[in-house]
């Protein structure tokens, strides 16, 4: 396959690139390095010479998008500005990247005759829905500008499928974590941030009482789901939205306990580090748990990594790379 990965220098994008290249596919990355890192891509230039290329560009620029899809058969659209707090602080830029940029990519993919457009959606779309587990066709009102943008993307993809015949699959990621997830910066995700804090023997800060729960999802499960989305020949599986998760929920208090357990094997002093609690974060969903029956049924999804399995793998990577 010839696959364009937008946001390929980022956490999930670079992991997808690595897997695609290892499987023998050709990959082009479109990235403006707003949040991604060139270091995530450097090994690919030598190892996969001739099958990997980088285009520095911005999805907010339609010409960049059109150039990026030239000659590509498939698109994995990972480029976005993540983070609920970032979107609350700067909704205009979040909207420009996540909606206008997404629309540019859809138009470019349509005009280039791309076979399938697979994109990163978000569990934030469930908003204030109290239903657990989260089922794809039951959502609430969005709780942040970020959540609005990711829901609008789903609506645009559906309209493009019905109006222009584009094949799409949207993947609602649930709290993905793993190797290469950036622990630095104001909008670092909770797991890499806790890794950084615990390794330095700094008390991790939990928002609220720590009883909010999440369906934490190891990156290799996400890779599996993206590959299934690219490769499926089931006509009922396309033009659909899927949850991408493991299907178990864990509180933040439990999460810190597991991380201390695994990191304590490297430095026993970490076992004595106790978290501190701050205020609840604006826009946060209290509880998140995915129903993954649809993905199992239509795509054959079979996640291999539980939270604990993934944390073991991630602990080793962060210990060696932080």
Which contacts (CB < 8 Å, 24+ apart) does range 128-132 have?
128/285, 132/249, 132/287, 132/289
For residue 310, CA distances in Å to 136, 149, 234, 255 come to 24, 29, 29, 12
Query: DSSP 3-state assignment of 77?
Result: strand
For residue 48, CA distances in Å to 25, 38, 45, 217 come to 10, 16, 6, 28
Query: DSSP 3-state assignment of 240?
Result: strand
Structure tokens at 114: 């791309």
Structure tokens at 129: 């829905």
Out of 146, 173, 242, 305, pick the active-site residue. Answer: 146
Query: DSSP 3-state assignment of 75?
Result: strand
Phi, psi of 241 (to 5 degrees): -110, 135
C-alpha dihedral over 320, 84, 187, 224, to 10 degrees?
A: 20
* Residue 146 among the catalytic residues: yes
Phi, psi of 103 (to 5 degrees): -65, -40
- Helix (H) or strand (E) segment spanning residue 207: strand 205-207
Nearest to 125 by CA among 145, 139, 110, 111: 139
Residue 166 and residue 237 in contact, taking contact as beta carbons nearer than 8 Å: no
Any idea which residues carry the catalytic annotation?
146
């Amino acid at each position: 396959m010839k696959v364009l990965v937008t946001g390929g220098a980022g956490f999930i994008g670079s992991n997808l690139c690595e897997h695609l290249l290892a499987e023998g596919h050709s990959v082009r990355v479109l990235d403006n390095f707003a949040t991604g890192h060139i270091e995530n891509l450097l090994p690919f230039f030598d190892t996969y010479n001739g099958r990997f290329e980088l285009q520095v560009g911005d999805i907010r620029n339609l010409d960049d998008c059109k150039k990026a899809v030239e000659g590509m058969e498939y698109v994995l659209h990972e480029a976005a500005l993540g983070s609920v707090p970032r979107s609350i602080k700067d909704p205009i830029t979040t909207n420009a990247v996540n909606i206008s940029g997404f629309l540019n990519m859809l138009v470019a993919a349509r005009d280039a005759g791309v076979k399938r457009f697979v994109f990163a959606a978000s569990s934030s779309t469930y908003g204030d829905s109290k239903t657990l587990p989260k089922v794809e066709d039951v959502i609430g009102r969005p709780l942040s500008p970020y959540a609005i943008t990711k829901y609008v993307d789903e609506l645009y993809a559906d309209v493009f499928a019905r109006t222009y015949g584009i094949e799409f699959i949207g993947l609602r990621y649930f709290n993905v974590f793993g190797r290469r997830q950036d622990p630095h910066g104001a909008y670092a995700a909770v797991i890499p941030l806790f890794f950084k804090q615990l390794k330095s023997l700094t008390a991790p800060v939990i928002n609220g009482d720590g009883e909010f729960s999440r369906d934490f999802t190891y990156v290799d499960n996400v890779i599996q789901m993206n590959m299934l989305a690219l490769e499926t020949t089931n006509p009922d599986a396309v033009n659909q939205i899927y949850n991408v998760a493991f299907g178990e929920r864990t509180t933040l208090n439990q999460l810190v306990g597991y991380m201390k357990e695994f990191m304590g094997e490297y430095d026993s002093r970490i076992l004595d580090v106790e978290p501190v609690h701050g205020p609840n974060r604006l826009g946060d969903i209290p509880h998140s748990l995915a129903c993954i029956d649809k993905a199992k049924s239509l795509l054959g999804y079979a996640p291999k990594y539980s939270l604990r399995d993934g944390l073991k793998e991630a602990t080793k990577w962060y210990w060696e790379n932080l």
